[in-house]
Amino acid sequence: MPIDMNAVGVFIAYLIAIAIIGYFGAKRTKTIADFVAASGQLGFWTYVLLMLGAVMSGMTLIGVSGLGFTSGWANLWERVIGPPFAISFGTVLIGYKLWTLRKKYQVWTMQDYFAIRYEDPKYLRALAGIISAVTCFVYLIGQYTAIGIVSEIVLGIPYFWGSLIALIIVVGYVMSGGMFSTAWTTFLQSLLMVLGVYITAPIIIGWVGGWEQFNELVSQVPMLQAANRGVEPSHLFGPFLDEPFAPSPAIPLVGWVYNLTLFGLTVPLGLMVGPHIVNNVLCYKESKYTRWGPVIMYVLGVILMLGTSLSGLAARVAWAQGKIEIASLTLAGGVTVKWSDMAYPTIAKAALPYGLFLFLLPCILAGVMSTTDRLLVTAASNIAYDVVKNVIKPTISDRTIMWISRIVVLIVGVGSWLLALTPQPLLAWFIWAALSLMVNCFFWPIIGGLYWKRMNKHAARWGMLVGFIVTLASFAIWGKTIMIPGVVAMYAVVPGFIASTIVTIILAYATKPHPEELLRETLTGAFIKAK
């Protein structure tokens, strides 16, 4: 594919804008609290858009639309609801209480909270920090995959070079400006993403006939793909595209059990307790942001996710009609599959006027970069601030810690990029694997810690460790899907969740809870608002 010089121009202009904002963020960053959590100084819209940008990522614009292409409405409704639920209800259930604790105890990261709530300033903090860094690393692989896809399909720049350029820019501004650069660049990025999807999705749906006709065509995809593509009507979940889920529990990805375990458990809860999301709720300035912020995030998020998902589904209709071609991807072993993650950029190129297509380019890049930078800051905070400063050498100076953070950003950024050079056919699988680790390691320590008085450090430590090990073992043994043929198919998150839940509950009841005074001071109990 020839390089589109106009698109490259827009790409460069976008990168320059981001670099300038990153530079001002770097000037504002003086202390480790600035680097890790912008010293809790973010305003209302910066916070709302930061949360939106942290979950609406390369996964949204590339992965979610790819999944819309693959499985249609069958689980689309859960994908649409999961991430907005996570950030809005996360702000209510986690942010409201943690904000008070942040003011009281200088809590800047999730691990700071664990250290205070569980009277465990070393082991639990180190364990949570290392697990968090690993999950961010896995999550990052997916983000670089998305950047590579966008640059190849939209710009004509090869996957390798596109992802490398983005790596250099993002790592550069995160190394220099930490959380301030991340939050300010995300403000612009989220705004672009919202505008881009809100404007282009209706045009794309209009291009395949408008809302009603589009939905009727979705029902006809089995017939259309058989007639125009020479594939079986059942190819790629054809019969379930207009259903909310497949009626049989035995079908992977679209069956109702799979839906429940992946989109009902892993996505909403994994995102809600993900370190990069929880750390965001420690960055805003005033408690009143938790009042209307959640509903605004939710509404903006649902429309954004719906627009992206439906653009992917529109690409499926257009492909079945023979109107567009989706690029192929050859996997290890020589198997060639349709690269469904190409759905959004491909249909955008066909359906949008050229000028608008050029405008969409920075929007898609924005989506990818806004999560990438947040994950890099989180991984750096985990290693430098949580492990090195608070566990290994508390006397270390802020200046040294910031340099260690920068080196971690570089190592994590480059390492995850190297692994992203071999892409998966569906980017979403990387993200879901990371979310599985997050829910199985952090759900009980965070939610149990805030709302359950019996939750103690033994339950938190072992629940976290067992969740981590069992989740990794499940993916190693079963891959993505645990199947009992003809009976049930479920996502591989389940054993880890059951194991961490059982271990947590047994240890919470078998060992002593923390003193009542500490529980009162840390706002622990079955309430959101303290009396």
Partner 1 sequence: MYQLALQAILSVQERILGMQPHTFACLVIPVIVQVIILLVWGAKWRPPPE
Q: Is 213 in the site for partner 1 (CB under 8 A)?
A: yes
Q: Judged by CB under 8 A, which of 41, 219, 248, 424 binds partner 1?
A: 219
223 binds partner 1, rule: CB under 8 A = no
Query: Shortest distance, CB of residue 531 to partner 1, whole angstroms?
Result: 9
Which residue in the set 30, 216, 223, 484 belongs to the binding site for partner 1 (CB under 8 A)?
A: 216
For residue 228 the two structure tokens come to 């125009």
Q: 246 has which bridge partners?
A: 255
Residue 96 interacting with partner 1 (CB under 8 A): yes
User: Does 99 help bind partner 1 (rule: CB under 8 A)?
Assistant: yes
Smallest gap from Cβ 493 to partner 1, in A, equals 21
Binding mask 337-376 for partner 1 (x = CB under 8 A): ----------------------------------------
| Nearer residue to partner 1 within complex by CB, 211 or 509 | 211
Q: Radius of gyration over alpha carbons of the chain, in Å?
A: 22
- In contact, 155 and 7? CB cutoff 8 Å: yes
Q: Among 34, 40, 86, 97, which residue interacts with partner 1 (rule: CB under 8 A)?
A: 97
Q: Interface with partner 1 includes 195 (CB under 8 A)?
A: no
**Nearest distance in Å: CB 80, partner 1:** 7
Binder of partner 1 out of 8, 17, 92, 195 (CB under 8 A): 92
Q: CB–CB of 489/483 below 8 Å? A: yes
Tell which one of 19, 23, 45, 215 touches partner 1 (CB under 8 A).
Answer: 215
CA atoms within 13 A on the CB side of 217: 21
For the record, the structure tokens of 312 come out as: 């992917």
Answer yes or no: are the C-beta atoms of 462 and 503 closer than 8 Å: yes
Among the listed ranges 242-250, 358-366, 429-437, 494-502, the one in contact with partner 1 (CB under 8 A) is 242-250
**H or E element in which residue 336 lies:** strand 336-338
Are the C-beta atoms of 237 and 71 separated by less than 8 Å? yes
Residue 408 binds partner 1, judged by CB under 8 A? no
* 256 binds partner 1, rule: CB under 8 A: no
According to DSSP, the residues that pair with 502 across neighbouring strands are: none
Q: How many residues bind partner 1 (CB under 8 A)?
A: 37
* Structural contact between residues 69 and 204, judged by C-beta atoms closer than 8 angstroms: no
**Is the Cβ of residue 175 or residue 218 nearer to partner 1 in the bound state?**
218
The residue (of 66 and 82) whose beta carbon lies closer to partner 1 is 82
How many beta carbons lie within 10 A of that of residue 259, not counting itself?
25
The whole-angstrom separation of Cα 97 and Cα 115 is 16
User: Which one, 214 or 385, has the nearer CB to partner 1?
Assistant: 214
Does position 529 interact with partner 1 (CB under 8 A)? The reply is: yes
Q: In the range 271-330, which residues lie near partner 1 by CB under 8 A?
A: 287-288, 290-292, 294-295, 298-299, 302
Q: Which two tokens stand for residue 364?
A: 């898609």
In the complex with partner 1, which residue's Cβ is closer, 512 or 529? 529
Stretch that binds partner 1, among 53-61, 94-102, 409-417, 513-521 (CB under 8 A): 94-102
- Tell me the C-alpha distance between 261 and 433, whole Å: 13
- The CA distance from 225 to 235, in Å, is 8
Structure tokens at 177: 């400006």
By the 8 A CB rule, do 508 and 448 touch?
Answer: yes
Q: Does 103 bind partner 1 (CB under 8 A)?
A: yes
Nearer Cβ to partner 1, position 76 or 193?
A: 76
Name the residue nearer to partner 1 (CB basis): 244 or 252. 244
Residue 328 tokens, joined = 């192929």
Q: By the 8 A CB rule, do 105 and 118 touch?
A: no
Query: For partner 1, which is the closer residue by CB, 58 or 95?
Result: 95
Q: Which is nearer to partner 1, 498 or 530 (CB)?
A: 530
Binding mask 49-88 for partner 1 (x = CB under 8 A): ------------------------x--xx--xx---x--x
CA distance 176 to 181: 8
Alpha-carbon distance 116 to 518, whole Å? Answer: 9
Taking the C-alpha atoms of residue 83 and residue 452, their distance in angstroms, rounded to an integer, is: 25
Out of 180, 214, 385, 497, the only residue in the binding site for partner 1 (CB under 8 A) is 214
Burial of 79 (0-12, 13-18, 19+ CB in 10 A): buried
* Residues sharing a CB contact under 8 Å with residue 248, sequence separation 6 or more, in sequence order: 255
Q: Contact positions toward partner 1, by CB under 8 A?
A: 73, 76-77, 80-81, 85, 88-89, 92, 96-97, 99-100, 103, 211-216, 219, 242-245, 287-288, 290-292, 294-295, 298-299, 302, 529-530
